Every structure is written in C-alpha cells, then in structure tokens.
Amino acid sequence: MSEHISEISTNKPVFEDNDPQDELITLNIGPTHPATHGVFQNVVQMDGERIVSGVSTIGYIHRAFEKIAEHRPFYQITPLTDRLNYCSAPINNMGWHMTVEKLLKIEIPKRVQYMRVIVMELARIADHIICNGILGVDTGAFSGFLYLMQEREFIYEIFEEICGARLTTNIGRIGGFERDFNEIAFAKIEEFLERFPPVLTEFESLFNRNRIFIERTAGVAGVTPEQALEYSWSGPILRATGVDYDVRVQNPYCSYEEFEFDVPVGTNGDVYDRYLVRNAEMWESLKIIEQALVKIKGEPTGVFHAEVPEFYLPPKEQVYTNMEALIYHFKIVMGEIDTPKAEVYHAVEGANGELGFYLVHDGGRSPYRLHFRRPSFVNYQMFAPMSAGMLLSDAILNMSSLNVIAGELDA
Amino acid sequence: MELMPIKNPVYVDLWEQIQQQFPSVVSAQEDDYGMLTLYTSKEQIIAVLRFLKKDKHWQFIHLTDITAVHYPLELLPFTVVYHLQSLVLNLRIRLKVAIGGEPPEIPSATTLWPGANWMERETYDFFGIQFLGHPDLRRILNMDELEAFPMRKEYPLEDPNRVDKKDLYFGR
C-alpha cells in the first residue's frame, strides 16, 4: 500500500490503466458520488468486487479558514467554525468560544454553561441521527432515516428558536449567549425529550436485531484499539474499538463533570459497533439534557452571559444612550482591548471526536495562528489503507460509519 | 528566554526524567493554562517522541495534533508543534521544535505513528516544511499546481492584484 503511494507524483493519473490484459480496473468514487456524502474522492483499484488499493484525494472544499482567521477578530471567527462540521455546528461554536474564554480567563456563569451543554448535546444528537440514519440508507433501508430525520428537523427548530438560524448557527457569543432562551425554546426542548425516545426506540427496533443489517455491518471494517490509537482516532469510532476516551470525561469543560452519564464503548470496532455506540450516545445525550434542564431551574433566571463588558458586545439600544456601552462597543469592534500574549489548546468532544483549537495569540486584534484539530480529517486517513481487501459495498458502509463531513475534512 | 518554574508535580517528574534521558533537550515550561511545553531540537525530536510514547509509565500514545507556526522575524522561523496525550495518566503535553533553512527540514514522526501521515502532509502543504522520511509528502488540501505555501506570513490573504474589488465600488 504505502510503497504504491510513494510512486505517485503530482499531476499524473493515480493508476495507469493502459494494459488491456490487466485484471484490475480503476474506479473513481467521488468527488461528487452519492456514497461519499460530501465532496471528496477515492480512486480505488479493484479486482472484481474487491478493492486492491486506494488513494484518497481531499481538499475539494478547502476554504482556508486558518488563513482567514489570522485576519479576523475573535468574534468573527465563530461563523467560520460553523462551516467545519456543519451537521453539528453549535459544538464547533461553543468550542471556539470556550477556547477564547480560556485564553482570556473568563468565568462563565453556571446557567450559561448548562445552556451550552443543552445546545451541544442537541447538536450531538442531530449529528448522530444523520450518521446512523444514512448508514441505514447505505445498507438499503430508507425508513429509519425518514423517522429520524423528522426529529433532526425538530432539533433545528429549537436552534432556530434560540439563535434564529438552523444549520450554520453562529450560536452564542464570547462570554455567553446573544440572548436568553425564550419560553418557546424551553418548551420545545422539553417536547423533544418526550417525543424523541419513542422514535429512537423504534429506530433501534428496526435495526439493532435486523438480520440483514447485522450481516451487512457486523465484522465489516473491524479495527483494533491499537490500530485506532496509532492513527490518532477519537470519538465514537475510537470508543467502538473499546477505548473509553471521551473528552467530556477526560478533560471536562462546561461543567460536564457535574453530569451523570455513561461512555458507551464497543468491542470489535466494526461498523455495527460504531452504529451501536452512536445510538447509545444519543440516549446519554438525552440524559444529560434532562439533567441540565433541572439544573438550570436552580440557577438565577435571566443570566445568559458573563459580565465581561470588554468582550461581550452591549445591547444595541444601550450603545446609543449609554456612554459606557458606547465605549465598549467601539473598543470591541475596533479591536482595542488588551489581550494576553499566550497559547492555548482547547478540545471539546465533537460529534466525530476530539475537536481541538490551537490558538497562538500575540496580543493583537486577531489570532496570530489558529489551528483546528479536525476529527474527520484525522479519522479519515485510515480509510484508504483499511479498505484494501474489502468489498466495495463494505467500504461504502465503512465510509458512512466514519461519518466524514467534507467541511470538517477540508477546513 | 526566562522560564517559570514548573508547578504541577506530575510535570516536574516528567521533566526530570526527560532531562536524565536527554540532557540536551533545551527547556520546558508550564504555561498559565496548565500545559507543559517541551522545547527541543530537530535532532532530538524523534528520540524524545519515542521515549514519550514507549515509556511504560508515561505512555503518551495519542498523537493529538501536528502543526506549525511561522515567525518570519525569528532566526529559526518555523516552529513545529506536536500535541501528545497520555490516556492512562490523562495528561497532555506540547512539544515545540524551531527549525530554519529553506526548505525547512525535520524528521517525520510517521515512523512512530502512521497517523502522523496526513498531519505532516497538511503542515507541508501550508508551510513547506519537509518531513524527512515521510512516505508520501504531497499537498493534501491545496491544489498540486500551487507554488507558494499559503500559511506563511508573507503570503497575502487576497490577491493584491485583483481589479474587481476596488474600494470605490464599496463606498470606501
């Protein structure tokens, strides 16, 4: 595998197919193939139905976020993070806010932290819904996807209620939220907690013991914990191999240490285990949201951001009437606030694994360097090597259960 | 560089062991946010990484991230940054290697972690850092025809020769 790759030079075809007697055929999966669920390409060489070797080509939607981030103030980088893993944008937003707050050493009120936990866990459920729903579609079962998609739609309605946007949410601000959750938002979250469990139960009863589904997924693309760690895996696919590494437990952020939840792990690391782990995580997320709703009730109402006027934009009507607010508004927008010269690495448990933000700051208006540690990018590099010897249809399922999101792959 | 004393006792142990093993590792510093940074040289980096990974006690088996930072005014303008994590001890550390030259060169960590492959390709793609011994050092996110290394500080965010974005069209 690796010696084959080293022969490839730039601007040459990946595989030469000039020999008419050659038994192998070259197949392009992507860049816009329905099975890839995103814009990236795999050129595989096949012997009949079996993949002999493959090369992944990525970067089709590279948007230079790290370069753009070096020219933007902190609060303008949040919309860039939306577009990493766009299936669970709020986790990226919160991860970025927390990175900046860590750099600036801002204390966040407990109520805001619980609100963030709710938003992040809803996003995690939405992301796992996509992954497991599509996995069902890729095995040929469409109905499970439809049942779950309705619930994802409902989660997006909650986001819409909270921040006005659905997919690329740009939710929250540095220091908290831009506004409090309204009554409808809380009511919808509670409604979701009631309506989602029966749907998820139904979905599980459709798939978990389904003979066809198990035969298609169990034992496919099994990965040992050693292999997974050698390839720096994280997230549900690492936990499916049996390693109980979850950033929420290892390095708790946002008060996750106060919540009771389990870290589901698998044993074989195959597609079926990844499916089960993701389903179990949805149940755990529901538990966390329930607890967060109870905890919020014990906190003083109306608190939705930290008191950091140097970094949190004042309400617009105050800017016109209040001197202090005008000063801070000006200072924030013009980037006149002193910030520490420091480096931080902050990781959150994204839906696909450890989402890290490495921020090097020189005290200026924008980051000196910002690097996103993107789980999809790191997880996906094992795909081509592990596909060798696999059936094409199994490799498609493997790709589906890795849940590679092109936006996060390419940044 | 003036170094603050390391406060975390676990990091103190680690630093002492590293000093014994590698007397010439340059320095270590714990920052305000509780992360230990080891500064070493490109001659030593693979040996240090191997020690950290293989040591029975520390077990920094999870290579979280490899990236680089460009400081154009420094004598050694590129800093390659490694983030490692020990899942057993729940400990993270950062390693930094400053390198210079054109092209800047550093040995590849793919001999220790196959997962370093794409991280180093990305770093090469954006900074032009040559990872010696890398099996497949090609561009990964940018197009193959690109001649520059776009995350270097001298590379402009936008093409300065663009004619369609004159300020007067935007009322500036």
Closest residue to A11, CB basis, from B61, B118, B144: B144
If you average pLDDT over residues A255-276, what whole number do you get?
Answer: 94
Could you give the CA distance from residue A98 to residue A101 in angstroms, rounded to a whole number? 5
A251 and B92: CB-CB below 8 Å?
yes
pLDDT for res A340:
92
CATH 1.10.645.10 range(s) for chain A read: 66-309+335-382+395-410
Which chain B residues have a beta carbon less than 8 Å from that of A102? 33
Is B126 within the bounds of a domain?
Answer: yes
- The number of C-beta contacts closer than 8 angstroms across A and B is 103
User: Which chain B residue shows the shortest CA-CA distance from A1?
Assistant: B135
Residue A313 in this model has a pLDDT that exceeds 60: yes
Contact assessment for residue A280 and residue A125, using Cβ atoms and an 8 Å cutoff: no
Test mutation, B35, B61, B64, chain A, max A CBs within 10 A? B64
Residue B3, in any domain of the structure: no
Mean pLDDT of A87-92: 94
Q: Is any Cβ of chain A less than 8 angstroms from the Cβ of B61?
A: yes
Domain assignment of residue B2, yes or no: no
Please provide the distance, in angstroms rounded to a whole number, between the alpha carbons at the two ends of chain A: 27
Residue B167 confidence (pLDDT): 67
**Which pLDDT score, from 0 to 100, does residue A383 have?**
92
| Measured torsion, CA atoms of residues B8, B9, B10, B13, in degrees rounded to the nearest 10 | 130
Contact assessment for residue A276 and residue A132, using Cβ atoms and an 8 Å cutoff: no
What confidence tens digit (pLDDT) does each residue in B67-116 have? 999 999 999 999 999 999 999 999 999 999 999 988 999 999 999 999 99
Domain that holds residue B106: 9-170
How far, in Å, CA of A73 to CA of A92, rounded? 17
**B31 reaches A (C-beta below 8 A):** yes
Contacts 24+ apart (CB under 8 A), A94-97: A94/A119, A94/A120, A94/A171, A94/A172, A94/A254, A94/A348, A95/A346, A95/A347, A95/A348, A95/A350, A95/A355, A95/A357, A96/A357, A97/A172, A97/A173, A97/A174, A97/A175
Question: From the list A233, A371, A382, which residue is nearest B67 (CB)?
Answer: A371
* Pick from A288, A411, A320, A379: nearest CA to A56: A379
Q: Which residue of A10, A58, A342 is in closest CB contact with B144? A: A10
pLDDT at A8 over 70: no
To which CATH superfamily is domain A66-309+335-382+395-410 assigned? Cytochrome-c3 Hydrogenase, chain B (1.10.645.10)
Residue of A61, A223, A232, A233 to mutate, interface with B, max B Cβ within 10 Å? A232
Number of domains in chain B: 1
pLDDT band at A9 (very low <50, low <70, confident <90, very high): very low
Q: Do B141 and A62 touch (CB under 8 A)?
A: yes
DSSP A217-237: HTTTT---HHHHHHTT--SHH
pLDDT at residue number A3: 44
The residue of chain B nearest to residue A230, with distances taken between CA atoms, is B113
Asked if A381 and B136 come within 8 Å (Cβ–Cβ), the reply is no
Section A100-114 average pLDDT: 94
User: Is residue B4 domain-resident?
Assistant: no
pLDDT at position B97: 95
- Proportion of chain A above pLDDT 70, given as a percent: 96
Better-predicted residue by pLDDT, A375 or B168: A375
A230–B115 CB contact, under 8 Å:
yes
Comparing A16-20, A56-60, A146-150, A374-378, the range with the smallest average pLDDT is: A16-20
Output the pTM of the full model: 0.92
Q: Which residues of B touch A369 (CB under 8 A)?
A: 69-70
Is residue B1, in this structure, part of any structural domain at all? Answer: no
CA contacts within 13 A on the Cβ side of A354: 30
Q: B33 and chain A: CB distance < 8 Å anywhere?
A: yes
Given a cut of 50, whether residue A233 has pLDDT beyond it is: yes
This complex has an ipTM of 0.92
Restricting to B residues 70-109, those with a Cβ less than 8 Å away from any Cβ of A are 70, 81, 83, 87, 90, 92, 94
Q: What is the CATH number of the domain that holds B100?
A: 3.30.460.80
User: Which residue from A minimizes the CA distance to B113?
Assistant: A230
Between A212 and B1, residue with greater pLDDT: A212
Range scoring the smallest mean pLDDT among A17-21, A66-70, A272-276: A17-21
Q: How would residue A22 be classed by pLDDT, with cut points 50, 70 and 90?
A: confident
Suggest the residue from B33, B120, B153 to mutate for an interface test with chain A (most A CBs closer than 10 A): B33
